[in-house]
Amino acid sequence: PFIFDVDGNKYIDYVMSWGPLILGHAPKKVIKAVVEQAKKGTSYGAPTPLEVEIAKFICENVPGVEKIRMVNSGTEATMSAIRLARGYTGRKKIIKFEGCYHGHVDSLLVKAGSGLATFGKPSSPGVPEELAALTITLPFNDINAFKKAVLEHKGEIACVILEPVMANAGLILPEKEFLKELRNITTEEGIILIFDEVITGFRLSLGGAQEYFGVIPDLSTFGKVIGGGLPVGAFGGKREIMDYLSPEGPVYQAGTLSGNPLAMAAGLMTLKLLKYGKVQKLQDGSTIVDFFEEGEEVYDYLRKMGKAFAEAIDLARKETGMDKFTRTYNLESLNCLFFVNKEIKSFKDASKANTKAYALFFREMLKQGVYLAPSQFEVAFVSTAHTKKEIEKTYEAAVKALKTVKEVFYS
């Protein structure tokens, strides 16, 4: 779980390439699979057995996916899913939730304006307002705002897209009935429900957030973990919707390097290790994941280490008195420390965090060899390569870092 800078300094890594490296850096089995494929060829411009095999694996293990298409990134996946939803329904408008990030797609680079259901304004230069106006932004976890938007734009909404667990605005969990209510309403109104599982897919569980929460969307997007550290994305869902995609249907999608064999090799080996592999400790205290008969189940280990990370940060907060000014959130192997002492249910809540305090915390942790995300609005990713030894060092660093933050901002 370590990275090194150009000066040779060593850091415990909790960014993990922003999520893909669920097995840590350069796992031997994954690297071997990539090397073996590279010897055969790096790209063919045609489907390969590896692409078919990983597609079958995803369809067999993710409840809402009957058919899937490989692309090159999570951004391409969400872009294509939106186009497919619009083509399938014949409608133009889409709904997203404030603070949910779905890649740098023009129509999704939109944040909420005032009111419950406002037409969006671009969050980046280069995005035409006319395009952004087709995107309706709503507060996460606010089912009443969603009901109102659906009523106001009845028969015009093609789809609603969301991260089932927000992990690009810190870590914000869905309230108990929020996802189920979304599913019920979208079904009644003929609106396609899209789960952006680029982060949650194969991280919360083998079946992603949809299996974890028991809510099945119409379409899902994937990335990160399914590429094993190489560039990849995918979108899939109900067969009748996916059949509307070219060449069988009229909605166009293509890509020169889509289903790239190197990414398919890395991704397939990663997914197989997640399902069939076990975690064992080596004599030096590090861990390895392989197809052992004995050992700890991968998701059990990830859950345990994720919880250990959360407990370490909580202990540091209490020891320094910073529990009065901060909140922690944990879900499986995802974690976040918010520098605001209130319950976080939406991006509006998260945006009240003291970002300057977090920035100082980040720098102080980095000085002590712990690499966290440099932004308050990201999460810490735990992998199978992290052990209690790294968690203990993280705790010690957090105590010192939080003391410094307290002196500067809260004394």
Report the catalytic residues.
101, 196, 224
Cα angle 221, 225, 230 (rounded to 5 degrees) comes to 100
- Cβ neighbors of 292 (< 8 A, separation 6 or more) are 277, 278, 280
Closest to 325 measured CA to CA, from 294, 289, 352:
352
Whether the Cβ atoms of residue 242 and residue 236 lie closer than 8 Å to each other: yes
Single-letter amino acid, residue 150: V
Where do the H-state alpha helices sit in 177-297? 178-189, 208-213, 239-242, 261-276
3-state secondary structure of 134: coil
Whether the Cβ atoms of residue 203 and residue 56 lie closer than 8 Å to each other: no
- Cβ neighbors of 279 (< 8 A, separation 6 or more) are 287, 288, 289, 295, 296, 297, 298, 301, 384
- Cβ neighbors of 240 (< 8 A, separation 6 or more) are none
Count of residues in the chain: 411
Question: Could you write out the DSSP letters of every residue in 45-63?
Answer: SS--HHHHHHHHHHHHHST
* Distances 351 to 15, 98, 240, 308, 339 between C-alpha atoms, Å: 21, 11, 40, 26, 10
**Reduced DSSP (H G I as helix, E B as strand, rest coil) percent helix, strand, coil of the chain, to 5:** 40, 20, 40
CA dihedral (207, 208, 211, 212) positive or negative: positive
Cα–Cα distance for residue pair 300/303, rounded to 1 Å: 5
Whether the Cβ atoms of residue 87 and residue 106 lie closer than 8 Å to each other: no
